[in-house]
A and B are shown apart, each in its own frame.
Chain A
Amino acid sequence: MQLTGQNSAPFQYSSGALEEVKALMGRYPEGKSKSALIRALHIAQEENQGWLSIPAMNHVAEVMGITPIEVYEVATFYSMYNLEPVGKFVLEFCQTGPCAIEGAEKIIEYTKQKLGIGKNQTTPDGLFTIKQVECLGACGYAPMMQVGEFYHEHLTTEKIDQFIEDCRAGKIDKGTWKMH
């Protein structure tokens, strides 16, 4: 996994997010506030257009009082962190066993064709990125994809058409990693 975005835009948490990260750090015993890192990165990713640039990770390290390498180590381990820029809507399709036998491959192929992009690519208008991920725990409601905080299940080509239209019309709620 390679880190990118060395020279990308500077990053700082919004004041609300900074307050929340500090509150999260306070949940742990003294000296153990690093436990808040994973959630702090989710919040940073959300505030940095959906991905973790080097400046974003460095800022998280500074806020949490840890070294940047401790943040890079974690950011490169977990699959939910995007280390490159992504579109506004990241369509994360489950491709594992139970989804696969219920037609996930066809749905993924259909969506790729429709949007004219492949895996890990973003449409030129910056709206959509397609990711293929492993089991999301929705096997009984297959095929499915995750977009932001929410799951979209029992997918059909008609549902994909409608979903993409709704995204373009700004009608899709991606949820948030901030306290709600």
Chain B
Amino acid sequence: MGRKLLLEHAQVEGIHTYEVYRKHGGYRSVEKALKTMTPDEVVEEVKKSGLRGRGGAGFPTGMKWSFLAKPEGVPRYLLCNADESEPGTFKDRYLMEKIPHLLIEGMITSSYALGANTSYIYIRGEYAWIVFVLERAIKEAYANGWLGKNILGTGYNLDLYVNCGAGAYICGEETALIESLEGKRGNPRIKPPFPAVKGLWQSPTVVNNVETIAAVVPIVNDGGDEYAKIGIGKSTGTKLISASGNINRPGVYEIELNVPVEEFIYSDQYCGGIKNGKRLKACVPGGSSVPILPHYLVCKTANGEDRLMTYESLADGGFASGSMLGSGGFIVYDEDQCIVRNTWNFSRFYAHESCGQCSPCREGTGWMEKVLHRLEHGHGKMSDIDLLADVAKKIEGNTICPLGDAAAWPVSAAIRHFREEFEWHVNEPVASQQRNYGLVKEPTAAV
């Protein structure tokens, strides 16, 4: 079992309370940062750690922080993105529910590094009860002198608040999140200007995922170099993986970024294998937006190398034969699942969640949903398959925010790897309503 930096104490009784959290070493990173380090030194440690954004994009956090504009007399803001809505992802919820103080500690240390004196945690509205878990923990942090004026006598001031959404996937996109936090519809903004220059209320703003901010705690405690020793290459540290689908042990796992995918799926430390002794049919390794992989590309790359749970290895082969680590929303499909139905399901999700600003996304997601619906229900034509691929291609890259890409990729990938299953739906409209297709054949050229 690998090292746990975030969830080490997750199972300790009462860890959600201040006393127990503090007894287990909580808030040390705040003491260390505020008393012995300059803000720039904290940023430097995060840069050294190689930490990459854990929300899905994987952008280096230290670099994002160093882009923050620092004009005189203008407030800066740190926003925590707790709008976790990517299908397959439920790790931030787990972290906030179990160890709310870890996020609060990370927010204080990170806010200090960025020179923010007011910070907000934006959490999706459906996690209603967690709003109050966090607010209770924040109250405890204020009462014990970790928030408010002149923290630890250092002269540093910080106020921290929880802000909630009300049901909109798009608010996980950072500029939509900012709009929503301003009390508006969650329509993404055109960039530039980037939030680092003009974000919340037109002030310089950093938006980071829950897990990213939590990871700053062990990075400051142990140093960025220690953190960077874990993992492989540019995939440093640990990552929370939300495992779901047809597996024996669904749940949230903290892994070192070096675990083979095969071990993650079949080891009893993690997913515990496919449920009911079935065979693996496919896997979506990083949340619904990332390309789906057919069984023969899950544990091995197209070159026959072992695939690892790292940013690079999961992307090996590009979109032709790889996928992405994304948010770590790891969805496993057994041989009884229908890929056409699953693709339709995801396309309905994106059609529902498109904010409607950009025509390619607003019209395209609805169009794909309609075509997939008829293919799944036995009314499709052979030309529909190419039509789908064409619509997906025309959405991709042609929208203000990445929701368009997120909607297009799962469709393109499903057709790329499961075309024979789509064709079977057209050729066998009756049979496809009664049973599932089973595994797709591995193309010999790919071996």
* Residues of A bordering B, CB below 8 Å: 27, 29, 32, 34-39, 41-42, 70, 73-74, 77-81, 95-98, 100-102, 133-142, 146, 148-150, 175, 177, 179-180
A74 B183 Cβ-Cβ under 8 A:
yes
Q: Which residues of A contact B242 (CB under 8 A)?
A: 139-140
Q: Which residues of A contact B165 (CB under 8 A)?
A: 38, 78
Verify if B337 is at the interface (C-beta below 8 Å from A). Answer: yes
A139 B331 Cβ-Cβ under 8 A:
yes
A140 B251 Cβ-Cβ under 8 A:
yes
Verify if B262 is at the interface (C-beta below 8 Å from A). Answer: no
Query: Nearest A residue to B346 by beta-carbon distance?
Result: A97
A38 B251 Cβ-Cβ under 8 A:
no
Q: Which residues of A contact B93 (CB under 8 A)?
A: 137-138
B166 A101 Cβ-Cβ under 8 A:
no
A140 B243 Cβ-Cβ under 8 A:
yes
A134 B349 Cβ-Cβ under 8 A:
yes
Shortest beta-carbon distance from A119 to chain B in Å: 13
Q: Which residues of B in the span 222-269 have a Cβ within 8 Å of any Cβ on A? A: 242-246, 250-252
A149 B185 Cβ-Cβ under 8 A:
no
* Residues of B bordering A, CB below 8 Å: 75, 84-90, 92-93, 118, 124-129, 132, 135, 161, 163-169, 180-186, 201, 242-246, 250-252, 284, 288, 329, 331, 333, 337, 341-342, 345-346, 349, 352-353, 355
B168 A137 Cβ-Cβ under 8 A:
no
B166 A97 Cβ-Cβ under 8 A:
no
In whole angstroms, how far apart are the Cα atoms of A37 and B181 in the complex?
9
B90 A137 Cβ-Cβ under 8 A:
yes
A140 B250 Cβ-Cβ under 8 A:
yes
Shortest beta-carbon distance from A146 to chain B in Å: 6
Q: Which residues of A contact B181 (CB under 8 A)?
A: 35
In whole angstroms, how far apart are the Cα atoms of A138 and B93 in the complex?
9
A42 B349 Cβ-Cβ under 8 A:
no
B244 A80 Cβ-Cβ under 8 A:
no
Residue among A42, A148, A149 making CB contact with B166, cutoff 8 Å:
A42
In whole angstroms, how far apart are the Cα atoms of A73 and B163 in the complex?
19
In whole angstroms, how far apart are the Cα atoms of A42 and B132 in the complex?
14
Shortest beta-carbon distance from A123 to chain B in Å: 23
Residue among B125, B201, B349 making CB contact with A80, cutoff 8 Å:
B125
A177 B128 Cβ-Cβ under 8 A:
yes
In whole angstroms, how far apart are the Cα atoms of A77 and B186 in the complex?
8
Given A78-B125, A140-B243: A98 and B86 within 8 A (CB)? no
Residue among A29, A97, A137 making CB contact with B124, cutoff 8 Å:
A137
In whole angstroms, how far apart are the Cα atoms of A139 and B118 in the complex?
33
Query: Nearest B residue to A96 by beta-carbon distance?
Result: B87
Shortest beta-carbon distance from B111 to chain A in Å: 16
Shortest beta-carbon distance from B96 to chain A in Å: 11
Q: Which residues of B contact A98 (CB under 8 A)?
A: 87-88, 244-245, 331
B86 A135 Cβ-Cβ under 8 A:
yes
In whole angstroms, how far apart are the Cα atoms of A88 and B344 in the complex?
32
Q: Which residues of B contact A39 (CB under 8 A)?
A: 163-164
Shortest beta-carbon distance from B80 to chain A in Å: 15
Shortest beta-carbon distance from B331 to chain A in Å: 5
Q: Can you identify 8 A-B contacts, CB atoms within 8 angstroms?
A: A38-B125, A70-B183, A74-B185, A97-B87, A98-B331, A102-B245, A137-B84, A149-B128
